């Protein structure tokens, strides 16, 4: 689905985040998809059967979505940062062990499956590859939770530069 982030960066990012439902609704409206759920939209987008006209409709949905974000003063990057920050704040306050245990399980699962595929030359099945992809994404989220993200750092650097210019 990386192609969507190239064609319509705001929609591609939002579809996988907290505004996924809103992004799906904008895409569904433009493509004439009856069900405006993230799942229904993902199914159509991943079908590989989009016409050039439908691709241009996605670009129009991107423009409408951008207007929606501006009118409602919604900043996707800020939402993402605030989401991670609140989880970290909760972890600092509660000292819960669940996030650490989940991180260990995700890491062991991801690298365990990867090592198994490489060492034993197992012919990977589709469900196994799906699980590996999901664990890879979860591993990235876990690393982001504990160590921060380079995206957040670059956003912070841009904000500092803007403040210096004022």
Q: How far apart are CA 69 and CA 12, in angstroms?
A: 14
For residue range 94-144, what is the model confidence (pLDDT) as tens digits? Answer: 888 888 899 999 999 999 998 988 898 778 888 888 888 889 888 988 888
Q: Is 33 exposed, middle or buried (0-12, 13-18, 19+ CB in 10 A)?
A: middle
For residue range 57-98, what is the model confidence (pLDDT) as tens digits? Answer: 999 998 998 888 777 777 665 656 666 676 677 777 888 888
Please state at what angle helix 20-31 crosses helix 52-71, rounded to 10 degrees: 140
* Strand (E) or helix (H) holding 128: helix 126-147
Structural domain spans, the chain: 2-71, 76-165
Closest of 35, 32, 22 to residue 65, by C-alpha:
22
According to the model, what pLDDT value does residue 84 have? 66
Q: How far apart are CA 42 and CA 14, in angstroms?
A: 12
pTM of the entire structure?
0.47
Mean pLDDT value of segment 28-40 = 89
């Amino acid at each position: 689905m990386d192609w969507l982030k190239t064609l319509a960066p705001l929609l591609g990012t939002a579809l996988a985040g907290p505004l996924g439902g809103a992004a799906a609704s904008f895409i569904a409206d433009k493509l004439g998809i009856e069900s405006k759920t993230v799942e229904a939209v993902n199914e159509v987008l991943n079908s590989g059967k989009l016409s050039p006209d439908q691709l241009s409709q996605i670009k129009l949905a991107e423009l409408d979505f951008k207007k929606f974000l501006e009118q409602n003063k919604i900043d996707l990057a800020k939402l993402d940062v605030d989401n991670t920050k609140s989880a970290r704040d909760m972890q600092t306050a509660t000292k819960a062990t669940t996030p650490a245990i989940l991180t260990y399980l995700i890491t062991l699962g991801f690298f365990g499956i990867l090592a198994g595929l490489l060492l034993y030359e197992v012919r990977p099945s589709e469900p196994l590859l799906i699980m590996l992809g999901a664990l890879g994404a979860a591993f990235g989220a876990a690393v982001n939770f504990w160590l921060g993200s380079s995206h957040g750092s670059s956003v912070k650097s841009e904000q500092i530069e803007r403040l210096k210019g004022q």
